[in-house]
Structure 1
Amino acid sequence: MSRGAISAGAVAALVLVAGCKAVAVDTEGGPSDDGKPRSTATPSRTPTEASPRTPARSPAQTPTRTPAHDPAPHTPAPAPKPGKTLMEQGDDGKRVRELQARLRQIAWFGGNPTGTYGPVTAAAVKGFQAKRGLAVTGVTDTVTWSRLLGMTREPTRSELYAGGGMPPAKPDKRCLTGRVLCIAKSSRTLTWMIDGRAVSTMDVRFGSQYTPTREGTFSVYWKSRHHVSTLYDTPMPYAMFFSGGQAVHFSADFAARGYAGGSHGCVNVRDEKKIASLFAQVRKGDRVVIYK
């Protein structure tokens, strides 16, 4: 083939490269039979019955999804409000003693009632309040007091003064003249009286059910500073005998255990200084009056 002769395929190639407008060619890369380029337009795709297109839903046809239940945010319960203040730290008196005795009945107050509202009492009140869902303040308000009254009973005199300190009972008329050891079982007190005047008062403890302290009017017939019981082999310091083997004396057991124990009929005193002073003043022949 001469240099001037160019094949039809080459011409078509030059047209594709040099032309500004692309010309479609057939699948064979050559012109059609009539010399004109063949059309290679791709027919539009028609969906087949095997894979029909799902028509788009209109907004009205689109189902609305119900959202999952969204609970309202948790609102904490309001804090309990305290009532009117009745008793608080620094107070003292009979009502405080009753508070302590009532708390002691339900095991919130471990000690003996003292009548003084201190940190121990405040802590006991706080514990009681927290257990019942009340305002935890340590202050006895009207709400706390009402709840406590509903859970307890009125304390007895012995419960109110479980640790001692009970006010002395009214003196028996036999105690109003002369020199008398005036001993009241109801108040668990011994009052040293001279001509109707109270000189000193102290807590005492009596005999048990099976060895009771005798009641009546007696007189001191023997004093023994360092006495030791020959029956029970126990010390009886500052002993002042008034009836057989029964005497008024200091008791270390009473000082240590309080009213948890009892004597064998004697009148026990737990304050050693007070009984020492009393022992120095009492004379043989002074009367001893023991009454309910």
Structure 2
Amino acid sequence: MKRSSAVRRAVLAAVAVALVTTGCTDRAAGAPKTPKAPVSAPAPTSGGPSSAATPDAKPSSSPSAPASTPAPTPTPSASASASGKVLMGDGDENEQVRELQARLRQLHHFDRAPTGFYGSITARAVSAFQKKRGLPETGAVDGTTWDRLRAATKKPTADELKPSTTNELDAPDARCMTGRVLCISKESRTLAWMIDGRVVSSMDVRFGSENTPTREGTFAVGWKARDWTSTIYHTPMPYAMFFSGGQAVHYSADFAARGYGGASHGCVNVRDRAKIAALFDQVKVGDKVVVHW
């Protein structure tokens, strides 16, 4: 009877172990740890080298394994953290980021005004620079990236850090190559005042929203007003040059203050008051207006 009881207890214990190892517990994280006690003991006789590769295995019978396997692992990670420390990255906003953007712009990797904010556009520009210089394309600025960028550029001037007019002109539309034309590109967000294919002046512009888009096509300046207030929205429209119904090229104080954070109701906004004032004096009624992508 005693022997029978002992056998019964052994069977019950085996069943309990089997229930745990087949996943009857809700603690999934604990399941792998449970079978290690009964299973790992015979493992060294058939798989000593493979057990040494397990991250939490610490074999004492093989003194050479700890020397060869764990040693290289911390060394590269330690050196990487030292040389790859992020100096500037996504979400940062400061004057160093503004300098970064200005330097990237000198190399034509960043095609707009420095904002001081590190977002996706800056990350792409950094990646482009890293790719060209044979560096890991992380999109973040570490010590090596910053040193290489500074070596390849000059210290930005005040005008480069905070320019009044920033966007680069794209290739003029073919319709802009003859006569007197206000050549307006939605792609580069620029207005180029051109006479017989030559750019006389250029400036940044902003367009209407999705609900009130700026019309595209070839138009003519129908009339001008140096001081005008919208009869629909009751907002000032200085130096207005109307080209399509109520849509006009004009100065926008909101564009000057908020940049591309806002939009017009269909007009072509200019944020450089001095430039559009000079443009207003040169443009004549009847001059061509081309709005294109």
In the superposition, the TM-score normalised over structure 1's length comes to 0.51
What CA deviation, in whole Å up to 9, does each residue of 1:72-98 have, x standing for no partner?
Answer: xxxxx7893479xxxx98956135638
SS in 2 for 1:237: coil
Q: Offset of 1:166 from its aligned partner?
A: 2.0
Cα distance change, pair 261–164 in 1 and its aligned pair in 2 (3 A): farther
Question: Which structure 1 segments of 5+ residues have no match?
Answer: 1-76, 114-127, 144-162
**Partner in structure 2 of residue 140 of structure 1:** 146
**Partner in structure 1 of residue 118 of structure 2:** 104
Q: Is 1:203 aligned to residue 236 of structure 2?
A: no
User: Aligned equivalents of 1:227 and 1:192: distance in 2?
Assistant: 22
Q: Is the 8 A contact 1:214 1:290 kept in 2?
A: yes
Say which of 97, 101, 106 aligns to 1:93: 106
**Runs ≥4 residues deviating over 6 A:** 100-103, 106-109
Q: Offset of 1:274 from its aligned partner?
A: 0.2
Q: Is 1:193 aligned to residue 194 of structure 2?
A: yes
**Partner in structure 1 of residue 256 of structure 2:** 255
**Partner in structure 1 of residue 179 of structure 2:** 178
Q: Is the 8 A contact 2:192 2:200 kept in 1?
A: yes
Q: Is the 8 A contact 2:209 2:263 kept in 1?
A: yes
What CA deviation, in whole Å up to 9, does each residue of 1:186-233 have, x standing for no partner?
Answer: 000000000000000100000000000000000001100000000000
Cα distance change, pair 248–103 in 1 and its aligned pair in 2 (3 A): closer
User: Aligned equivalents of 2:279 and 2:120: distance in 1?
Assistant: 39
User: Aligned equivalents of 1:175 and 1:81: distance in 2?
Assistant: 51
Q: Is the 8 A contact 1:168 1:189 kept in 2?
A: yes
SS in 2 for 1:235: coil
Identity %: 57
**Partner in structure 2 of residue 276 of structure 1:** 277
Q: Is the 8 A contact 2:110 2:122 kept in 1?
A: no
User: Aligned equivalents of 2:275 and 2:169: distance in 1?
Assistant: 16
Task: Look up the equivalent residue of 2:107 and give its one-letter code.
Answer: K
What CA deviation, in whole Å up to 9, does each residue of 1:140-163 have, x standing for no partner?
Answer: 1479xxxxxxxxxxxxxxxxxxx9
Task: Look up the equivalent residue of 1:105 and give its one-letter code.
Answer: G
Q: Offset of 1:170 from its aligned partner?
A: 0.8
User: Aligned equivalents of 2:107 and 2:192: distance in 1?
Assistant: 22
**Partner in structure 1 of residue 75 of structure 2:** none
**Partner in structure 2 of residue 38 of structure 1:** none
**Partner in structure 2 of residue 15 of structure 1:** none
**Partner in structure 1 of residue 170 of structure 2:** 169
Cα distance change, pair 232–197 in 1 and its aligned pair in 2 (3 A): same
User: Aligned equivalents of 2:116 and 2:233: distance in 1?
Assistant: 38
Q: Is the 8 A contact 1:82 1:141 kept in 2?
A: no
User: Aligned equivalents of 2:186 and 2:222: distance in 1?
Assistant: 22
Cα distance change, pair 141–251 in 1 and its aligned pair in 2 (3 A): same
User: Aligned equivalents of 1:272 and 1:177: distance in 2?
Assistant: 27
Task: Look up the equivalent residue of 2:82 and give its one-letter code.
Answer: P
Q: Offset of 1:175 from its aligned partner?
A: 0.4
SS in 2 for 1:253: helix
